[in-house]
Structure 1
Amino acid sequence: MAGNSQRRNKRTSNKKGMQVGSGGQRRRGLEGKGPTPPAEMRKGHAKQRAAQARTRRAQGRPQRKGSGKGTSELVVGRNSVVEALREGVPANTLYVQQFIENDERVREAVRVAGERGGIHLMEAPKPELDRMTNGLNHQGLVLQVPPYEYAHPEDLTAAAYDDGEDPLIVALDGVTDPRNLGAVVRSVSAFGGHGVVVPERRAAGMTAGAWKTSAGTAARTPVARATNLTRALEGYQKAGATVVGLAADGEVELQDLAALDGPVVIVVGSEGKGLSRLVGETCDVRVRIPMPGGAESLNAGVAAGVVLYEAARRRA
Structure 2
Amino acid sequence: MGQPRSSEEAGDFIIGRHPVEAALKSNQSINKLFIQSGLKSDVLSGIEQMAKKKGIITQLVPKSKLDLLSDQQNHQGVIVAVAAFEYATIDDLFKSAADKDEPPFFLILDNVEDPHNLGSIMRTADAAGVHGIIIPKRRAVGLTSTVAKTSTGAIEYMPVARVTNLVNTVNELKKAGLWVFGTDMDGQDYREWDAKGPTALVIGNEGKGISPLLKKACDGMLTIPMIGHVQSLNASVAASLLIYQGFTSRGK
* TM-score, length basis structure 1: 0.62
8 Å contact kept, 1:185–1:195: no
Instruction: Find the counterpart in structure 1 of residue 116 from structure 2.
Output: 179
RMSD: 3.4
Q: Map of 1:119-268 to 2, 5 A cutoff?
A: 119-121=56-58, 143-161=80-98, 163-247=100-184, 249-258=185-194, 260-268=195-203
Q: Establish whether residue 313 from structure 1 lines up as the match of residue 252 from structure 2.
A: no
Q: CA deviation at 1:268?
A: 0.3
8 Å contact kept, 1:113–1:119: no
State the SS of the aligned residue for 1:251: strand
Q: In structure 2, do the counterparts of structure 1 residues 92 and 105 end up closer, same or farther at CA, with 3 Å as the change threshold?
A: farther
Q: CA deviation at 1:121?
A: 2.8
* Stretches of structure 2 lacking an aligned partner (at least 5 in a row): 1-9
Q: Distance in 2 between matches of 1:298 and 1:233?
A: 24
Determine which structure has greater relative contact order: mean sequence separation of CA pairs < 8 Å that are 6+ residues apart, divided by chain length.
2
Q: In structure 2, do the counterparts of structure 1 residues 137 and 187 end up closer, same or farther at CA, with 3 Å as the change threshold?
A: closer
Q: Distance in 2 between matches of 1:118 and 1:280?
A: 49
Q: CA deviation at 1:114?
A: 4.3
C-alpha deviations, 1:129-171, integer Å up to 9, x for none? 8xxx79x779998742211111112331344246432111111
Instruction: Find the counterpart in structure 1 of residue 7 from structure 2.
Output: none
State the SS of the aligned residue for 1:104: coil
8 Å contact kept, 1:106–1:141: no
State the SS of the aligned residue for 1:112: helix
State the number of aligned residues.
230
State the SS of the aligned residue for 1:196: strand
8 Å contact kept, 1:171–1:198: yes
C-alpha deviations, 1:174-222, integer Å up to 9, x for none? 1112221121112112122211111112212222222222222222221
8 Å contact kept, 1:145–1:208: no
Which amino acid is 1:265 matched to? A
* Stretches of structure 1 lacking an aligned partner (at least 5 in a row): 1-70
Q: Report the structure, 1 or 2, having the larger strand content.
A: 2
* TM-score, length basis structure 2: 0.75
Q: CA deviation at 1:225?
A: 1.5
Instruction: Find the counterpart in structure 1 of residue 33 from structure 2.
Output: 94
Q: 2:217 aligns with which of 282, 297, 300?
A: 282
